[in-house]
Structure 1
Amino acid sequence: MPPPDCPPGGPIAALIPAALPRPRPVPAPVGDLPPGPPAPSTAAPPGSPGTGPAIYAIARLNRSGQISAAGVMSALGWAAGDLITVTVRHGAILVRPTGHGRRAIGADSALVLPAAARRMCAIGAPSAVLLAALPDADLLIIHPIATLARLLARRHTQILERPS
């Protein structure tokens, strides 16, 4: 028999936990762009591993979070079956080869980005992402397309404010 203060057939509030708030991930801050027109050098400064030339591509995630990255995989020298590790840093997904692990590069150089990593970087599926392969660092960085849009919006503002 339910207690007298409980409505018949209704849930008992003390037994139903309150929903925990789940804040949306905040994209990483993007620094200011250099004001002048000179392009950055493609040569890496001495003692700066991984800052050499990068290979870029835009890819689209399918609904299961998979992307095809054949061009950047070949630039990195990675192949189907290679074991990888996936981490998140500064609002981007980092993929590195490892000699162990549970994740591997799929057939046709396909990568499945873990749902947790996609959520942490505010990457929805289907969605476009910017792939940045850094062969000198043996690293693939996957940026949300929103990061590229913010950088370009700032650059476009600079261009419109300072005609050459």
Structure 2
Amino acid sequence: MTGAVIAPVAFPATRSQGGRGPMAASNRPPPLPTVPTPRTETAVYGMAAVDCRGRVADRTVFAALGWVAGTPLAISVTHGTLVIGTDPSGVFGMTSQGHLRLPAHVRHCCELGSGDRVLLAAYPDRELLLVHPPMVLDLLLADCHATLLGGDPA
């Protein structure tokens, strides 16, 4: 990389007269930043696209759950969200490539199509995975986004 080095800009310090005026506040230390509350949830999150065969893949999420090829799973739909857990008599399972295949009837129930991105929320302590389709994310985030974008929540 070539070119001239830009010198830093330093503004001269000015004193206010008698503690009045706009510079009087600069004598106070700046406010301390708010320290965020430590995270207490054990959830492991990931995003994945549904492929043309209904498969989703996220190694980090599935590793946190300890799910490997052949892990028997049960899948149900609650409020538009897929709830997936281990079940010894489960008829679904992880593929040999480490993907989770979502059956067609489940995808249709949740209006999931090829290429749709889903939020994966793994709860390892419960051996449970929640798969949130875009329509559910829209509902969950509507109020938050309205507030952040300057509107009123619906």
Task: Please give the range of the TM-score, normalised by the shorter of the 2 chains.
Answer: 0.5 to 0.7
1:62 maps to 2:51: yes
Aligned to 1:159: 148
Change (3 A) 1:40 1:100: farther
- Please report how far the alpha carbon of residue 64 of structure 1 lies from its aligned counterpart in structure 2 after TM superposition: 1.3
Aligned to 2:127: 138
Which of 55, 75, 78 in structure 1 is aligned with 2:64? 75
Alignment of 1:11-26 (within 5 A): none
Q: Is the 8 A contact 2:81 2:136 kept in 1?
A: no
Change (3 A) 1:161 1:40: farther
Aligned to 2:100: 111
Change (3 A) 1:41 1:91: farther
Larger radius of gyration: 2
**AA in 2 matched with 1:94:** V
The CA distance in 1 between the partners of 2:113 and 2:36, in whole Å, is 32
Give aligned pairs, total: 118
Q: Is the 8 A contact 1:58 1:128 kept in 2?
A: yes
Alignment of 1:45-60 (within 5 A): 52-60=41-49
Moved more, 73-82 or 147-156: 147-156
Look up the SS of the partner of 2:100 in the other structure: strand
Q: Is the 8 A contact 1:70 1:108 kept in 2?
A: no
The CA distance in 1 between the partners of 2:73 and 2:43, in whole Å, is 19
Structure 2's unaligned 5+ residue stretches are 1-34
Give the TM-score normalised by the residue count of structure 1.
0.63
- Please report how far the alpha carbon of residue 78 of structure 1 lies from its aligned counterpart in structure 2 after TM superposition: 1.4
Once the two structures are superposed, what CA deviation does each residue of 1:11-45 show, in whole Å capped at 9, x if it has no partner? xxxxxxxxxxxxxxxxxxxxxxxxxxx977643xx
The CA distance in 2 between the partners of 1:65 and 1:39, in whole Å, is 38
The CA distance in 2 between the partners of 1:139 and 1:132, in whole Å, is 8
Higher relative contact order (CA 8 A, sep 6+): 1
Aligned to 2:91: 102
The RMSD of aligned alpha carbons is 2.4
Give the TM-score normalised by the residue count of structure 2.
0.67
Look up the SS of the partner of 1:107 in the other structure: coil
Alignment of 1:120-135 (within 5 A): 120-135=109-124
